[in-house]
Structure 1
Amino acid sequence: MIKEIIVVEGKDDTTAIKRAVDAETIETGGSAINKDILKRIKLAQQRRGVIVLTDPDHAGERIRKIIAAQVPGCKHAFITQEEATSKGDIGVENASVETIRKALTNVRTDYESVESDIRWDDLIAAGLIVHPQAASRRMAAGQSLGIGYCNGKQFYNRCRMFRITREEFAAACRQLDEEKG
């Protein structure tokens, strides 16, 4: 059984999680996350810890940001849009058992006011911003680092928030270049 409580968006997500692992969930009820749900998440974080696993879309990212701002120190698990899409629908409920297990194995913890070795210039040099294929490169690097897909600024912030080391960043960039070549 997973010790932490997994925060998901809805009932179908809970069903998918329970197919993959023995865990308990808190459902946000979609992007309209309210104060009562946030109180439950705060209590869960204090008592057992929390893993946030939301849909890889705009609404899921919004929920993730709200929780991270209100409940510091949460762990975050990410799945890609490809892994979460079925018949045009994007959601955790569409992810395979293996994908969910992999995401929960590669959780990252957020930290407040973090110093990081990763600099904005590193993202430029790696072709993750200001590059013709920056979006696809960020998607692949985000998947490799376990921080999900996001725009350049968010990618930079996630590298800092999840304390991505220079070595981890370099390894993800090498993998990008090897797959390209």
Structure 2
Amino acid sequence: MKIDIAELIIVEGKDDVSALKRAVNADIIITNGLGLTKERLKEIETIAKDRGVIVFTDPDYPGSKIRNILKGRIPNCKHAYLNKSEAINPKTGKYGVEYAKPEAIVRALKNAKATVQDGSENYTLTDLVCWRLAGADSQKRREALCNHLRIGQANAKGLLNKLNAYQIPRAEIECFLAEYERGER
């Protein structure tokens, strides 16, 4: 059974995402190797403030360089490491997170002190329906909430994913919706 990780995990490429998805349930962002853009760095910094990040790069020079860039921008980020023996492709001799077995990935994340969640989501579609953020005449309320939370516009399913991914406190949502109902927002 896969474990749920609270922090955002940063990897180098799409094959790394596939390997992690076989081992854990987590939100994952790609650096595209050393092609880490300023926009992507800002996005990572914003997320790091709210929920933390784990850097999980390949055990090679480019992976180390990416780690150092992120460590300089986000000093409190966590780091998951694989030994080269855990991340080697026996056929090609190349190293990478994408070659690691799920057990090695889970072990590396636990060693990085990843926050393991209980697996239950904070919000369900029922919550959105009760708050009138899904269904008929919900678009304006949803847009107002998305603007207030500064999470970008979304349909009901997208909003549900964002609320759970960003772990926005229920009290903040309910307080905003009460003010919205009274016309204060």
Give the TM bin, normalised by the shorter chain.
0.5 to 0.7
The DSSP-based 3-state class of the residue aligned with 1:7 is strand
Q: Deviations over 1:27-63 (max 9, x none)?
A: 0000121111111110110111000000000000000
Q: Which runs of 4+ in 1 moved over 3 A?
A: none
Report the counterpart of residue 63 of structure 1 in structure 2. Answer: 66
Per the normalisation by structure 2, the TM-score is 0.57
Paired with 1:13 and 1:26, the residues of 2 have a C-alpha distance of: 10
Alignment of 1:73-152 (within 5 A): 73-86=76-89, 87-107=92-112
Match of 1:49 among 40, 49, 52: 52
Question: Which consecutive residues of structure 2, in runs of 5 or more, have no partner in the other structure?
Answer: 115-185
Match of 2:18 among 15, 18, 23: 15
CA drift of 1:89 comes to 1.4
Which residue identity is paired with 1:107?
A: A
Per the normalisation by structure 1, the TM-score is 0.58
Greater radius of gyration (CA): 2
Report the counterpart of residue 30 of structure 1 in structure 2. Answer: 33
CA change 1:8–1:71 in 2 (3 A) is same
Which residue identity is paired with 1:31?
A: L
| Length, aligned pairs only | 109
Q: Deviations over 1:108-140 (max 9, x none)?
A: 69xxxxxxxxxxxxxxxxxxxxxxxxxxxxxxx
Paired with 1:63 and 1:103, the residues of 2 have a C-alpha distance of: 18
The DSSP-based 3-state class of the residue aligned with 1:82 is helix
The DSSP-based 3-state class of the residue aligned with 1:61 is helix
Which residue identity is paired with 1:84?
A: A
Which residue identity is paired with 2:98?
A: E
CA drift of 1:88 comes to 1.2
Paired with 2:6 and 2:34, the residues of 1 have a C-alpha distance of: 25
| Identical columns (%) | 48
Report the counterpart of residue 9 of structure 2 in structure 1. Answer: 6
Q: Deviations over 1:72-99 (max 9, x none)?
A: 2000110011111102111000000000
CA change 1:64–1:95 in 2 (3 A) is same
CA drift of 1:22 comes to 0.5
Which residue identity is paired with 1:48?
A: R
Which residue identity is paired with 2:36?
A: I
The DSSP-based 3-state class of the residue aligned with 2:35 is coil
The DSSP-based 3-state class of the residue aligned with 1:36 is helix
